[in-house]
Amino acid sequence: MLMAIEIGQVVHDFAIIMIVAGAMTISSIKLKQPMVIGYILAGMAIGPYTQPFNLILNIEVLTFLLKLG
């Protein structure tokens, strides 16, 4: 499945995931909240069902990274 996906899409999606997770980590530290809350909010923001925008280009990349983790 992953062979049909271009490497640029994988790098783009992984970079978006890391940037959003990092931003949520920094904001949760500033608000003196556990980092787990920041990660949960990042997952909600990145998720494939977030409207009106999709940050992830290909859902298969997201499911691959989920299985990898």
Q: Is residue 1 part of a domain?
A: no
Answer whether 0.85 is exceeded by the pTM: no
Predicted pLDDT at 13? 82
Q: Is residue 54 part of a domain?
A: yes
Q: Which domain holds residue 24?
A: 8-68
Burial, 60: exposed, middle or buried (Cβ in 10 Å; 0-12, 13-18, 19+)? Answer: middle
Q: Is residue 2 part of a domain?
A: no
What is the token pair recorded at 68? Answer: 């990898």
What is the token pair recorded at 3? Answer: 């062979």
Predicted pLDDT at 11? 84
Q: Is residue 34 part of a domain?
A: yes
Q: Is residue 58 part of a domain?
A: yes
Percentage above 90 pLDDT, the chain: 20
Taking residues 1-21, report their average pLDDT: 77
**Strand (E) or helix (H) holding 33:** none
Predicted pLDDT at 4? 63
Taking residues 5-16, report their average pLDDT: 81
Q: Is residue 50 part of a domain?
A: yes
> How many Cβ atoms are within 10 Å of 37's Cβ, its own excluded?
13
Predicted pLDDT at 31? 92
Q: Is residue 3 part of a domain?
A: no
Euclidean distance between CA atoms 44 and 47, whole angstroms: 5
